[in-house]
Copies of this chain bind each other. A is one copy, B any other.
Amino acid sequence: MAEVVSSQNKTGQQIDQTPLNTFTASNPILGRENLGLTTIEMMEMYQKHAGFEFLNVPLSVSSNSTDDSDNDLEEMVKLELYQDSPLFQKINFQIQKQQLIAKERQENEAVGALTKQRHEELPHTSLQSEIDNENESFDSRGERPNKLIKLEPVSPQPDDSRRSPDSAQMKKVTSTTPTLPPCRVCGERASGFHYGVNTCEACKGFFRRSLKKIKIDYKCVGKNNDCLIAPGKRNSCPMCRYNKCIAVGMSKDAIKTGRYTHEKRTKDIVEIKKLQGTSNQPEDADTEEELETIIQMLTKYHREITLGDLPHLGNPQNIADLQQKYYEEFQQKKKMFGDLNLSKEEHFSFYHSTGLDIDDRLTMMQGICKSLEKGIAKLVNFAKQIPGFVDLPLEDQASLIKDRCDLQDPDKVEAIQWRLVKCLCLVLSKKWGSRSGLKFCEFINCLISARDLTEWHVKITKNLVIDWPVLQNHPLLLEMMTV
Protein backbone atom coordinates (compact mmCIF):
# COMPACT_ATOMS: atom_id res chain seq x y z
CA MET A 1 0.00 0.00 0.00
CA ALA A 2 2.28 2.70 1.22
CA GLU A 3 4.99 0.96 -0.64
CA VAL A 4 7.54 3.24 -2.09
CA VAL A 5 7.95 2.62 -5.74
CA SER A 6 11.41 3.34 -6.90
CA SER A 7 11.27 6.05 -9.45
CA GLN A 8 12.58 5.29 -12.86
CA ASN A 9 16.11 6.51 -12.81
CA LYS A 10 17.51 6.73 -16.25
CA THR A 11 20.66 4.73 -16.08
CA GLY A 12 20.78 4.00 -19.74
CA GLN A 13 22.68 0.77 -19.86
CA GLN A 14 23.63 -0.78 -23.07
CA ILE A 15 26.45 -1.84 -25.23
CA ASP A 16 28.41 0.60 -27.31
CA GLN A 17 26.94 3.95 -26.85
CA THR A 18 29.20 5.98 -24.65
CA PRO A 19 32.59 7.63 -24.83
CA LEU A 20 35.92 6.03 -24.19
CA ASN A 21 37.07 5.23 -20.76
CA THR A 22 40.33 6.37 -19.34
CA PHE A 23 42.38 3.22 -19.22
CA THR A 24 43.29 2.80 -22.80
CA ALA A 25 46.59 4.62 -22.48
CA SER A 26 48.71 3.07 -25.13
CA ASN A 27 51.55 0.90 -24.12
CA PRO A 28 54.61 -0.59 -25.81
CA ILE A 29 54.24 -4.01 -27.23
CA LEU A 30 52.11 -5.86 -24.80
CA GLY A 31 52.45 -3.73 -21.76
CA ARG A 32 54.11 -5.98 -19.26
CA GLU A 33 52.20 -6.14 -16.00
CA ASN A 34 49.49 -4.30 -17.77
CA LEU A 35 47.92 -7.60 -18.60
CA GLY A 36 47.40 -8.60 -15.06
CA LEU A 37 46.08 -5.20 -14.34
CA THR A 38 43.54 -5.32 -17.01
CA THR A 39 41.94 -8.27 -15.41
CA ILE A 40 41.50 -6.61 -12.10
CA GLU A 41 40.51 -3.43 -13.73
CA MET A 42 37.87 -5.20 -15.68
CA MET A 43 36.51 -6.74 -12.56
CA GLU A 44 36.31 -3.33 -11.06
CA MET A 45 34.49 -2.13 -14.06
CA TYR A 46 32.11 -4.96 -14.08
CA GLN A 47 31.38 -4.41 -10.51
CA LYS A 48 30.87 -0.75 -10.94
CA HIS A 49 28.50 -1.60 -13.67
CA ALA A 50 26.61 -3.80 -11.32
CA GLY A 51 26.24 -0.83 -9.07
CA PHE A 52 26.98 -2.70 -5.90
CA GLU A 53 29.76 -4.62 -4.36
CA PHE A 54 29.14 -7.65 -6.38
CA LEU A 55 32.62 -8.87 -5.72
CA ASN A 56 33.26 -6.92 -2.62
CA VAL A 57 36.08 -5.08 -4.28
CA PRO A 58 35.67 -1.56 -3.04
CA LEU A 59 34.08 0.61 -5.62
CA SER A 60 36.81 2.61 -7.15
CA VAL A 61 37.88 5.90 -5.73
CA SER A 62 38.84 7.55 -8.94
CA SER A 63 36.02 8.47 -11.23
CA ASN A 64 33.32 10.14 -9.28
CA SER A 65 30.88 7.42 -9.93
CA THR A 66 27.52 8.59 -8.88
CA ASP A 67 25.00 6.89 -10.99
CA ASP A 68 25.55 7.34 -14.66
CA SER A 69 29.12 6.20 -14.82
CA ASP A 70 28.28 2.59 -14.91
CA ASN A 71 28.55 1.82 -18.53
CA ASP A 72 32.29 1.73 -18.49
CA LEU A 73 32.03 -1.96 -18.82
CA GLU A 74 30.14 -1.89 -22.02
CA GLU A 75 32.65 0.49 -23.39
CA MET A 76 35.37 -1.89 -22.52
CA VAL A 77 33.48 -4.58 -24.25
CA LYS A 78 32.56 -2.86 -27.40
CA LEU A 79 34.92 -0.07 -28.12
CA GLU A 80 38.33 -0.22 -29.57
CA LEU A 81 40.56 -1.25 -26.78
CA TYR A 82 44.16 -1.80 -26.51
CA GLN A 83 44.98 -4.72 -28.71
CA ASP A 84 46.19 -7.02 -26.07
CA SER A 85 43.30 -6.62 -23.73
CA PRO A 86 40.68 -8.90 -25.25
CA LEU A 87 42.36 -12.03 -24.11
CA PHE A 88 42.15 -10.91 -20.57
CA GLN A 89 38.82 -9.40 -20.88
CA LYS A 90 37.87 -12.76 -22.11
CA ILE A 91 39.27 -14.50 -19.11
CA ASN A 92 37.81 -11.90 -16.93
CA PHE A 93 34.44 -12.35 -18.42
CA GLN A 94 34.87 -16.00 -17.96
CA ILE A 95 35.38 -15.33 -14.32
CA GLN A 96 32.28 -13.30 -14.27
CA LYS A 97 30.59 -15.96 -16.23
CA GLN A 98 31.79 -18.58 -13.85
CA GLN A 99 30.00 -16.80 -11.18
CA LEU A 100 26.90 -17.29 -13.16
CA ILE A 101 27.92 -20.79 -14.01
CA ALA A 102 28.89 -22.73 -10.96
CA LYS A 103 28.09 -23.73 -7.39
CA GLU A 104 26.61 -26.21 -4.89
CA ARG A 105 25.82 -29.51 -3.36
CA GLN A 106 28.41 -29.21 -0.71
CA GLU A 107 27.06 -28.84 2.73
CA ASN A 108 25.50 -32.20 3.28
CA GLU A 109 28.53 -34.19 2.46
CA ALA A 110 30.24 -33.24 5.64
CA VAL A 111 32.67 -35.99 4.94
CA GLY A 112 32.84 -35.37 1.23
CA ALA A 113 36.35 -36.73 0.95
CA LEU A 114 35.48 -39.23 -1.67
CA THR A 115 34.41 -36.72 -4.23
CA LYS A 116 37.24 -36.88 -6.70
CA GLN A 117 38.03 -40.31 -7.84
CA ARG A 118 37.29 -40.81 -11.49
CA HIS A 119 38.78 -39.34 -14.64
CA GLU A 120 42.27 -40.28 -13.73
CA GLU A 121 42.96 -42.52 -16.63
CA LEU A 122 43.87 -40.18 -19.46
CA PRO A 123 47.09 -38.22 -19.32
CA HIS A 124 46.33 -34.75 -18.08
CA THR A 125 46.80 -31.71 -20.17
CA SER A 126 48.69 -28.91 -18.57
CA LEU A 127 45.51 -27.08 -17.80
CA GLN A 128 44.02 -30.14 -16.25
CA SER A 129 47.12 -30.58 -14.19
CA GLU A 130 46.80 -27.02 -13.06
CA ILE A 131 43.24 -27.72 -12.12
CA ASP A 132 44.05 -30.98 -10.47
CA ASN A 133 46.86 -29.41 -8.54
CA GLU A 134 45.74 -29.74 -5.00
CA ASN A 135 48.29 -27.59 -3.21
CA GLU A 136 46.55 -24.49 -4.28
CA SER A 137 48.62 -21.36 -4.28
CA PHE A 138 45.58 -19.87 -2.70
CA ASP A 139 46.86 -18.51 0.54
CA SER A 140 43.83 -17.68 2.50
CA ARG A 141 44.30 -17.22 6.19
CA GLY A 142 44.14 -20.96 6.24
CA GLU A 143 40.67 -20.90 7.60
CA ARG A 144 38.74 -21.48 4.45
CA PRO A 145 35.29 -22.58 5.43
CA ASN A 146 35.02 -25.99 3.97
CA LYS A 147 31.62 -26.48 5.41
CA LEU A 148 29.16 -23.97 4.24
CA ILE A 149 26.58 -24.84 6.75
CA LYS A 150 27.88 -26.75 9.64
CA LEU A 151 24.90 -27.77 11.68
CA GLU A 152 23.69 -31.21 12.04
CA PRO A 153 23.67 -33.06 8.74
CA VAL A 154 19.96 -33.20 8.32
CA SER A 155 16.92 -32.53 10.33
CA PRO A 156 17.15 -30.05 13.12
CA GLN A 157 14.89 -31.82 15.52
CA PRO A 158 16.65 -35.11 16.19
CA ASP A 159 19.04 -33.47 18.59
CA ASP A 160 16.33 -31.64 20.36
CA SER A 161 18.13 -32.91 23.41
CA ARG A 162 20.88 -30.41 22.84
CA ARG A 163 19.25 -27.32 24.13
CA SER A 164 15.76 -26.99 22.80
CA PRO A 165 15.29 -23.31 23.45
CA ASP A 166 11.57 -23.63 23.66
CA SER A 167 11.04 -25.46 26.88
CA ALA A 168 7.72 -23.75 26.94
CA GLN A 169 6.61 -26.28 24.45
CA MET A 170 7.78 -29.04 26.67
CA LYS A 171 4.85 -28.74 28.91
CA LYS A 172 2.65 -29.27 25.92
CA VAL A 173 4.39 -31.75 23.75
CA THR A 174 1.59 -31.44 21.27
CA SER A 175 3.86 -32.57 18.50
CA THR A 176 3.85 -29.24 16.66
CA THR A 177 7.24 -30.15 15.17
CA PRO A 178 9.03 -26.92 16.00
CA THR A 179 10.81 -27.36 12.73
CA LEU A 180 12.04 -24.14 11.32
CA PRO A 181 14.64 -23.13 8.80
CA PRO A 182 17.96 -22.41 10.49
CA CYS A 183 18.97 -18.99 11.71
CA ARG A 184 19.52 -16.80 8.70
CA VAL A 185 22.27 -14.98 10.47
CA CYS A 186 24.41 -17.59 12.14
CA GLY A 187 23.01 -20.89 10.96
CA GLU A 188 22.14 -22.15 14.41
CA ARG A 189 18.78 -23.56 15.09
CA ALA A 190 16.21 -20.84 14.72
CA SER A 191 13.71 -20.21 17.45
CA GLY A 192 11.25 -18.34 15.37
CA PHE A 193 10.59 -15.46 13.09
CA HIS A 194 12.25 -12.46 14.68
CA TYR A 195 12.32 -8.97 13.27
CA GLY A 196 11.15 -10.36 10.01
CA VAL A 197 13.70 -13.13 9.73
CA ASN A 198 14.07 -16.65 10.93
CA THR A 199 16.77 -16.39 13.54
CA CYS A 200 17.95 -18.06 16.67
CA GLU A 201 17.27 -16.68 20.08
CA ALA A 202 20.81 -15.43 20.32
CA CYS A 203 20.75 -13.40 17.17
CA LYS A 204 17.35 -12.08 18.05
CA GLY A 205 18.68 -10.83 21.36
CA PHE A 206 21.75 -9.43 19.73
CA PHE A 207 19.72 -7.49 17.26
CA ARG A 208 17.39 -6.23 19.93
CA ARG A 209 20.33 -4.93 21.89
CA SER A 210 21.67 -3.34 18.76
CA LEU A 211 18.39 -1.57 18.24
CA LYS A 212 18.56 -0.16 21.72
CA LYS A 213 21.96 1.32 21.07
CA ILE A 214 21.92 4.96 20.19
CA LYS A 215 24.90 4.50 17.98
CA ILE A 216 26.33 1.40 16.41
CA ASP A 217 29.86 1.47 17.67
CA TYR A 218 30.86 -2.05 16.80
CA LYS A 219 34.25 -2.50 15.24
CA CYS A 220 35.18 -5.24 12.84
CA VAL A 221 37.84 -7.46 14.29
CA GLY A 222 38.92 -8.46 10.81
CA LYS A 223 39.86 -5.92 8.27
CA ASN A 224 37.32 -5.87 5.52
CA ASN A 225 34.02 -6.16 7.27
CA ASP A 226 33.69 -9.55 5.72
CA CYS A 227 34.10 -11.88 8.64
CA LEU A 228 32.17 -15.04 8.12
CA ILE A 229 29.30 -15.45 10.53
CA ALA A 230 29.03 -19.17 10.91
CA PRO A 231 27.35 -21.41 13.48
CA GLY A 232 30.40 -21.83 15.62
CA LYS A 233 31.85 -18.36 15.50
CA ARG A 234 28.85 -16.21 15.89
CA ASN A 235 30.46 -13.92 18.41
CA SER A 236 33.73 -13.41 16.68
CA CYS A 237 32.87 -10.03 15.24
CA PRO A 238 29.86 -8.04 16.39
CA MET A 239 30.20 -5.57 13.55
CA CYS A 240 29.90 -8.23 10.91
CA ARG A 241 27.19 -9.94 12.84
CA TYR A 242 25.21 -6.75 12.88
CA ASN A 243 25.83 -6.21 9.22
CA LYS A 244 24.63 -9.66 8.48
CA CYS A 245 21.52 -9.05 10.52
CA ILE A 246 20.80 -6.04 8.38
CA ALA A 247 21.73 -7.91 5.25
CA VAL A 248 19.31 -10.72 5.87
CA GLY A 249 16.60 -8.15 6.39
CA MET A 250 16.16 -7.83 10.10
CA SER A 251 14.38 -4.66 10.94
CA LYS A 252 12.04 -3.16 13.39
CA ASP A 253 9.70 -2.50 10.50
CA ALA A 254 9.61 -6.12 9.53
CA ILE A 255 8.24 -7.30 12.82
CA LYS A 256 5.49 -9.78 12.51
CA THR A 257 3.35 -10.54 15.45
CA GLY A 258 0.65 -12.99 16.18
CA ARG A 259 -0.02 -16.40 14.92
CA TYR A 260 1.40 -17.81 11.71
CA THR A 261 -0.55 -17.66 8.56
CA HIS A 262 -1.19 -21.00 6.97
CA GLU A 263 0.64 -19.69 4.02
CA LYS A 264 3.76 -18.93 5.94
CA ARG A 265 3.70 -22.15 7.81
CA THR A 266 3.49 -24.19 4.67
CA LYS A 267 6.28 -22.13 3.26
CA ASP A 268 8.43 -22.94 6.23
CA ILE A 269 7.60 -26.58 6.01
CA VAL A 270 8.42 -26.63 2.35
CA GLU A 271 11.74 -25.06 3.09
CA ILE A 272 12.47 -27.61 5.74
CA LYS A 273 11.48 -30.32 3.38
CA LYS A 274 13.85 -28.95 0.84
CA LEU A 275 16.63 -28.69 3.32
CA GLN A 276 16.16 -32.24 4.34
CA GLY A 277 15.84 -33.20 0.73
CA THR A 278 19.34 -32.05 -0.01
CA SER A 279 20.51 -35.46 1.02
CA ASN A 280 18.76 -37.23 -1.81
CA GLN A 281 18.46 -34.72 -4.58
CA PRO A 282 16.92 -31.40 -3.83
CA GLU A 283 16.82 -30.56 -7.50
CA ASP A 284 16.09 -26.93 -6.93
CA ALA A 285 16.37 -26.27 -3.28
CA ASP A 286 18.72 -23.68 -1.96
CA THR A 287 17.79 -21.79 1.08
CA GLU A 288 18.48 -18.17 0.97
CA GLU A 289 21.20 -18.37 3.55
CA GLU A 290 22.97 -21.02 1.57
CA LEU A 291 23.06 -18.73 -1.36
CA GLU A 292 24.11 -15.96 0.93
CA THR A 293 27.00 -18.01 2.17
CA ILE A 294 28.05 -18.81 -1.33
CA ILE A 295 27.99 -15.19 -2.26
CA GLN A 296 30.03 -14.26 0.74
CA MET A 297 32.50 -17.00 0.13
CA LEU A 298 33.04 -16.33 -3.53
CA THR A 299 33.21 -12.67 -2.85
CA LYS A 300 35.86 -13.15 -0.26
CA TYR A 301 37.90 -15.54 -2.35
CA HIS A 302 37.66 -13.28 -5.27
CA ARG A 303 39.01 -10.37 -3.36
CA GLU A 304 41.87 -12.37 -2.01
CA ILE A 305 42.73 -13.74 -5.37
CA THR A 306 42.60 -10.48 -7.19
CA LEU A 307 43.89 -8.07 -4.64
CA GLY A 308 45.58 -10.43 -2.26
CA ASP A 309 49.10 -9.87 -3.42
CA LEU A 310 48.56 -6.60 -5.17
CA PRO A 311 46.37 -4.59 -2.86
CA HIS A 312 47.41 -1.29 -4.34
CA LEU A 313 45.70 -2.27 -7.55
CA GLY A 314 42.36 -1.90 -5.91
CA ASN A 315 42.46 1.65 -7.05
CA PRO A 316 42.14 2.06 -10.80
CA GLN A 317 44.04 5.28 -10.61
CA ASN A 318 47.12 3.30 -9.66
CA ILE A 319 46.62 1.20 -12.71
CA ALA A 320 46.39 4.20 -14.94
CA ASP A 321 49.48 5.63 -13.31
CA LEU A 322 51.42 2.45 -13.90
CA GLN A 323 50.37 2.34 -17.49
CA GLN A 324 51.39 5.91 -17.92
CA LYS A 325 54.73 5.21 -16.30
CA TYR A 326 55.47 2.26 -18.53
CA TYR A 327 54.49 4.19 -21.54
CA GLU A 328 56.81 7.02 -20.64
CA GLU A 329 59.64 4.60 -20.03
CA PHE A 330 59.03 3.25 -23.44
CA GLN A 331 59.08 6.66 -25.01
CA GLN A 332 62.26 7.43 -23.14
CA LYS A 333 63.94 4.34 -24.42
CA LYS A 334 62.77 5.04 -27.87
CA LYS A 335 64.30 8.46 -27.74
CA MET A 336 67.58 7.16 -26.41
CA PHE A 337 68.10 4.22 -28.69
CA GLY A 338 66.15 5.40 -31.60
CA ASP A 339 62.95 3.89 -32.80
CA LEU A 340 64.11 0.51 -33.92
CA ASN A 341 60.62 -0.59 -34.72
CA LEU A 342 61.76 -3.93 -36.00
CA SER A 343 59.23 -6.14 -37.64
CA LYS A 344 58.75 -9.61 -36.29
CA GLU A 345 60.74 -11.00 -39.15
CA GLU A 346 63.59 -8.58 -38.75
CA HIS A 347 63.82 -9.25 -35.09
CA PHE A 348 63.65 -12.95 -35.60
CA SER A 349 66.38 -13.09 -38.21
CA PHE A 350 68.55 -10.79 -36.16
CA TYR A 351 68.03 -12.91 -33.09
CA HIS A 352 68.65 -16.04 -35.07
CA SER A 353 71.97 -14.83 -36.43
CA THR A 354 73.34 -12.95 -33.43
CA GLY A 355 71.48 -14.41 -30.50
CA LEU A 356 70.73 -10.91 -29.28
CA ASP A 357 67.26 -10.02 -28.11
CA ILE A 358 67.67 -6.56 -29.45
CA ASP A 359 64.83 -4.63 -27.89
CA ASP A 360 64.25 -7.01 -25.02
CA ARG A 361 60.99 -8.01 -26.46
CA LEU A 362 61.62 -11.65 -25.84
CA THR A 363 62.45 -11.05 -22.22
CA MET A 364 59.42 -8.92 -21.91
CA MET A 365 57.27 -11.58 -23.43
CA GLN A 366 58.69 -14.06 -20.99
CA GLY A 367 57.60 -11.82 -18.20
CA ILE A 368 54.21 -11.45 -19.70
CA CYS A 369 53.87 -15.18 -20.00
CA LYS A 370 54.78 -15.68 -16.40
CA SER A 371 52.35 -13.04 -15.30
CA LEU A 372 49.75 -14.65 -17.47
CA GLU A 373 50.32 -18.03 -16.01
CA LYS A 374 49.98 -16.62 -12.58
CA GLY A 375 46.72 -15.04 -13.61
CA ILE A 376 45.43 -18.26 -15.00
CA ALA A 377 46.40 -20.09 -11.85
CA LYS A 378 44.41 -17.59 -9.91
CA LEU A 379 41.49 -18.00 -12.20
CA VAL A 380 41.63 -21.73 -11.79
CA ASN A 381 41.82 -21.43 -8.05
CA PHE A 382 38.85 -19.18 -8.02
CA ALA A 383 36.91 -21.56 -10.17
CA LYS A 384 37.71 -24.34 -7.79
CA GLN A 385 36.13 -22.42 -4.98
CA ILE A 386 32.86 -22.54 -6.78
CA PRO A 387 31.00 -25.32 -5.09
CA GLY A 388 30.54 -28.21 -7.43
CA PHE A 389 33.23 -27.16 -9.83
CA VAL A 390 35.80 -29.62 -8.61
CA ASP A 391 33.33 -32.43 -8.94
CA LEU A 392 32.99 -31.92 -12.63
CA PRO A 393 34.97 -34.09 -14.98
CA LEU A 394 38.43 -32.64 -15.39
CA GLU A 395 37.78 -32.12 -19.06
CA ASP A 396 34.74 -30.05 -18.29
CA GLN A 397 36.62 -27.99 -15.79
CA ALA A 398 39.16 -27.25 -18.44
CA SER A 399 36.49 -26.49 -20.98
CA LEU A 400 34.83 -24.02 -18.69
CA ILE A 401 38.08 -22.29 -17.92
CA LYS A 402 38.68 -22.02 -21.62
CA ASP A 403 35.15 -20.89 -22.26
CA ARG A 404 34.37 -23.80 -24.43
CA CYS A 405 31.00 -25.44 -24.64
CA ASP A 406 31.65 -29.04 -25.49
CA LEU A 407 30.96 -30.42 -22.09
CA GLN A 408 30.82 -33.99 -20.98
CA ASP A 409 28.37 -33.43 -18.23
CA PRO A 410 26.31 -30.42 -19.21
CA ASP A 411 23.60 -31.31 -16.75
CA LYS A 412 25.93 -30.91 -13.87
CA VAL A 413 27.32 -27.69 -15.21
CA GLU A 414 23.85 -26.34 -15.60
CA ALA A 415 22.99 -27.30 -12.09
CA ILE A 416 25.98 -25.37 -10.85
CA GLN A 417 25.08 -22.55 -13.14
CA TRP A 418 21.57 -22.40 -11.92
CA ARG A 419 22.67 -22.14 -8.36
CA LEU A 420 24.80 -19.18 -9.29
CA VAL A 421 21.98 -17.59 -11.20
CA LYS A 422 19.99 -17.79 -8.03
CA CYS A 423 22.83 -16.14 -6.16
CA LEU A 424 22.85 -13.38 -8.69
CA CYS A 425 19.14 -12.93 -8.41
CA LEU A 426 19.42 -12.74 -4.68
CA VAL A 427 22.10 -10.11 -4.82
CA LEU A 428 20.27 -8.16 -7.44
CA SER A 429 17.00 -8.21 -5.65
CA LYS A 430 18.66 -7.01 -2.51
CA LYS A 431 20.41 -4.22 -4.27
CA TRP A 432 17.81 -3.20 -6.77
CA GLY A 433 14.55 -4.27 -5.31
CA SER A 434 11.84 -3.99 -7.85
CA ARG A 435 14.28 -3.05 -10.55
CA SER A 436 16.25 -6.22 -10.11
CA GLY A 437 14.49 -7.84 -13.02
CA LEU A 438 15.80 -5.23 -15.35
CA LYS A 439 19.24 -5.53 -13.87
CA PHE A 440 19.09 -9.24 -14.42
CA CYS A 441 18.38 -8.67 -18.07
CA GLU A 442 21.32 -6.34 -18.22
CA PHE A 443 23.55 -9.03 -16.86
CA ILE A 444 22.30 -11.58 -19.27
CA ASN A 445 22.81 -9.14 -22.09
CA CYS A 446 26.35 -8.57 -20.93
CA LEU A 447 26.97 -12.27 -20.93
CA ILE A 448 25.55 -12.62 -24.36
CA SER A 449 27.60 -9.74 -25.61
CA ALA A 450 30.63 -11.25 -24.02
CA ARG A 451 30.28 -14.09 -26.41
CA ASP A 452 31.39 -11.81 -29.18
CA LEU A 453 34.73 -11.70 -27.49
CA THR A 454 35.26 -15.36 -28.02
CA GLU A 455 35.59 -14.84 -31.73
CA TRP A 456 37.94 -11.98 -31.17
CA HIS A 457 39.92 -13.95 -28.71
CA VAL A 458 40.38 -16.85 -31.01
CA LYS A 459 41.45 -14.61 -33.84
CA ILE A 460 43.99 -12.74 -31.79
CA THR A 461 45.50 -15.64 -29.97
CA LYS A 462 45.93 -17.52 -33.18
CA ASN A 463 48.26 -14.83 -34.40
CA LEU A 464 49.84 -14.55 -31.02
CA VAL A 465 50.89 -18.17 -31.05
CA ILE A 466 52.34 -17.82 -34.49
CA ASP A 467 54.17 -14.62 -33.79
CA TRP A 468 55.69 -15.66 -30.52
CA PRO A 469 57.46 -18.99 -30.65
CA VAL A 470 58.42 -18.39 -27.07
CA LEU A 471 54.91 -19.39 -26.15
CA GLN A 472 55.87 -22.94 -26.95
CA ASN A 473 57.62 -22.99 -23.61
CA HIS A 474 54.38 -22.34 -21.83
CA PRO A 475 52.08 -25.26 -22.42
CA LEU A 476 49.49 -23.87 -20.06
CA LEU A 477 49.21 -20.68 -22.03
CA LEU A 478 49.22 -22.55 -25.26
CA GLU A 479 46.35 -24.64 -24.15
CA MET A 480 44.38 -21.67 -22.99
CA MET A 481 44.85 -20.17 -26.39
CA THR A 482 43.93 -23.24 -28.31
CA VAL A 483 40.38 -23.70 -29.32
CA A441 to CA B444, docked complex, whole Å:
11
* Contact residues in B for A16 (Cβ distance below 8 Å): 405-406
In the assembled complex, the CB of A433 is this many whole angstroms from the nearest CB of chain B, namely: 8
Which one of A147-155, A359-367, A381-389, A445-453 contacts B? Answer: A445-453
A460 within 8 A of B: no
CA A179 to CA B440, docked complex, whole Å:
32
From known contacts A232-B253, A281-B5, infer whether A414 and B434 are also in contact, taking CB-CB under 8 Å.
no
With a 10 A CB-CB cut-off, give which of A15, A406, A418, A452 has the most chain B CB atoms. Answer: A418
Inter-subunit contact A2/B230 (CB<8 Å): yes
Which one of A120-128, A254-262, A349-357 contacts B? Answer: A254-262
* Contact residues in B for A7 (Cβ distance below 8 Å): 281
8 A Cβ contacts from A25-64 to B: none
Which one of A82-90, A161-169, A465-473 contacts B? Answer: A161-169
Contact among B270, B277, B440 with A421 in the assembled complex (CB-CB below 8 Å): B440
From known contacts A414-B442, A440-B421, infer whether A434 and B283 are also in contact, taking CB-CB under 8 Å.
yes
CB closest residue in chain B, given A232: B253
CA A244 to CA B444, docked complex, whole Å:
32
CA A441 to CA B113, docked complex, whole Å:
29
Inter-subunit contact B235/A410 (CB<8 Å): no
A454 within 8 A of B: yes
The interface bits of chain A over 339-382 (1 if a CB of B lies within 8 angstroms of the residue's CB, else 0) are 00000000000000000000000000000000000000000000
Inter-subunit contact A14/B448 (CB<8 Å): no
Inter-subunit contact A14/B407 (CB<8 Å): yes
From known contacts A235-B255, A440-B418, infer whether A411 and B167 are also in contact, taking CB-CB under 8 Å.
no
CA A182 to CA B3, docked complex, whole Å:
14
A463 within 8 A of B: no
With a 10 A CB-CB cut-off, give which of A165, A202, A277, A445 has the most chain B CB atoms. Answer: A445
Size bracket of the A interface: 35 or more
Inter-subunit contact B5/A167 (CB<8 Å): no
* Contact residues in B for A449 (Cβ distance below 8 Å): 405, 451
In the assembled complex, the CB of A142 is this many whole angstroms from the nearest CB of chain B, namely: 34
A6 within 8 A of B: yes
From known contacts A14-B405, A421-B440, A448-B448, infer whether A283 and B235 are also in contact, taking CB-CB under 8 Å.
no
Inter-subunit contact A410/B14 (CB<8 Å): yes
A282 within 8 A of B: yes
CA A146 to CA B16, docked complex, whole Å:
35
A222 within 8 A of B: no
CA A12 to CA B197, docked complex, whole Å:
39
Inter-subunit contact A437/B284 (CB<8 Å): yes
A438 within 8 A of B: yes
A174 within 8 A of B: no
The interface bits of chain A over 425-445 (1 if a CB of B lies within 8 angstroms of the residue's CB, else 0) are 000000000111110111011
In the assembled complex, the CB of A89 is this many whole angstroms from the nearest CB of chain B, namely: 15
A11 within 8 A of B: yes
CA A415 to CA B442, docked complex, whole Å:
10
Inter-subunit contact A187/B1 (CB<8 Å): yes
Can you list the 7 inter-chain pairs with the closest CB atoms, starting with the nearest?
A14-B410, A451-B451, A283-B434, A418-B437, A15-B405, A414-B441, A284-B434
Task: List 19 additional A-B contacts (Cβ < 8 Å) besides A414-B442, A451-B451, A452-B455.
Answer: A1-B159, A1-B182, A1-B273, A10-B411, A11-B411, A13-B411, A16-B406, A164-B261, A164-B263, A165-B261, A167-B262, A167-B263, A170-B262, A232-B254, A283-B435, A405-B449, A410-B442, A421-B441, A422-B437
9 contacts between A and B (CB under 8 A): A7-B281, A13-B410, A164-B263, A202-B258, A405-B445, A405-B449, A449-B451, A451-B451, A452-B454
